Structure 1
């Protein structure tokens, strides 16, 4: 593990604390302009997000209507009702995005897949970068106002579903995540600059509670008037 990643993981609570848990639950409220582009109505109702920490599994409820939840893995996405009744499902869900651009409308399973992999990636960072198959290296830092944020580029293994194969993370002087950059391959490969803030300590693990993803320009600067996705988290707990 390169020193930058080791220091970042330690600043976020360390692998020993992280590995002592298996599940993380949070209340999430989501907004932004992205959903309208996909033909979706995104309300401000709080929902419950649950993720497994050591394999890529996630669910959110309610989804679509009360009593329904999603069941996400990289190989399958499903919408499940009471009694484990499958309302809809799709195997090999990544293939269903072939030919999509930023404005291609999504069905509920498209949305559920995106929600599953995105929130799992966000809520497990930076610890997921220590998992088998990731390749990481330090890159040029980013200057944000008076601060210089050290940069790390991660190449994701094929088994992990996420925005893109390569993603960049930037860490502040305290080594906590400040920014996460990527391209959203399943929506026309647009570039995003995702700002991360307001961390809280949960059992000694530092987890950001405010996320704002903007369109990113060619100069790597965020387009502040183009807020694609906002995510606010609260009531975090390990189960």
Structure 2
């Protein structure tokens, strides 16, 4: 049987991914998480611009017309479109200390969480080729009429992410159908995050629909409310 990590990379177009430096997408991001944190519709219509080689990303508009966010693991900020910095926070992950799922966020909390999360989403599975990532195939998982191969991923400390250990669920075409994690900065609640609507851009396959749910101890999703809903209407590489 083919090595699952290599199968996933090939299926998503990893060889083509290496040709580019930046990815841009038009998105709608809503769900119970944003409402609980005090920002129910702030990301409903945004343009996301992400570096590929570096962990850097911005949203525009961000919290108001004429503003954009800036995310890097060690710094988040809010800028005007002409480059004036209005506020910033160094070591932003530390600002989530002792947060629970009910703790509200300020705009810089929002910039950090939405920044690292989307950078991860757009760059997965390609980041598996970066130094320090460890992978291990787990037992398959069956749910309903579907059976997925599973790849456990351990992230290096150098990459900001939801949790150090995550699990990718892989369909028969080698595409990621689901990922499991516990978002440490928002209280560590177990989540099941489904990906679908794959489209090909520049030979690279990107899911255009994402739905995240809370997850039971047996791995099944709790489908009584969508925690995060992401819809992507366009992707551009440069």
User: Is the counterpart of residue 80 in structure 1 residue 79 in structure 2?
Assistant: yes
Which residue in 1 is equivalent to 2:10? Answer: 10
Q: From the superposition, tell whether residues 44 and 116 of structure 1 become closer, same or farther in structure 2 (CA, over 3 Å).
A: closer
1:44 CA drift (Å)? 6.7
Query: What residue is the counterpart of 2:50 in the other structure?
Result: 51
8 Å CA contact 2:12, 2:175 repeated in 1: yes
Match of 1:106 in 2: 105
Query: What do residues 50-107 of structure 1 show as CA deviations (whole Å, max 9, x unaligned)?
Result: 1111221111100011121111110000111133111110000000000000000000
2:18 corresponds in structure 1 to 19
Identify the range of structure 1 (139-148 vs 188-197) with the bigger mean alpha-carbon deviation: 139-148
> 1:60 corresponds to which residue?
59
Give structure 1 stretches of 5+ with no counterpart.
Answer: none
Question: Structure 2: any 5+ residue segments left out of the alignment?
Answer: none
Report the 3-state secondary structure (helix = DSSP H, G, I; strand = E; otherwise coil) of the residue aligned with 1:36.
helix
Check the 8 A contact 1:147/1:173 in 2, yes or no.
Answer: no
- Residue 142 of structure 1 deviates from its aligned partner by 1.6
SS of match in other structure, 1:182 = strand
Q: CA deviation at 1:145?
A: 2.4
Task: Name the counterpart of 1:145.
Answer: 144
Q: TM-score, normalised by structure 2?
A: 0.96
Residue 42 of structure 1 pairs with residue 41 of structure 2: yes
Aligned to 2:124: 125
Q: Paired residue for 1:193?
A: 192
Residue 225 of structure 1 aligns to a residue in which SS? coil
Structure 1 residue 41, shift from structure 2 partner: 2.8
CA distance in 1 between partners of 2:43 and 2:154 (Å): 33
Report what 1:91 is aligned to.
90
What SS class does the counterpart of residue 225 from structure 2 fall into?
Answer: strand
The 5-angstrom pairing of residues 22-33 of structure 1 reads 22-33=21-32
User: In the TM superposition, what whole-angstrom CA distance separates every residue of 1:115-173 from its partner, at most 9, and x where no partner exists?
Assistant: 10000101111111111111111112221322211101111111111100111101001
Measured in 2, the distance between the counterparts of 1:119 and 1:225 equals: 24
Aligned to 1:211: 210
**In 1: Cα distance, 2:53 partner to 2:166 partner:** 19
Aligned counterparts of 2:204 and 2:121: Cα–Cα separation in 1: 14
Residue 171 of structure 1: aligned partner: 170
Do 2:31 and 2:40's aligned partners in 1 also have CA atoms closer than 8 Å? no
- Could you tell me which residue of structure 2 aligns to residue 134 of structure 1? 133
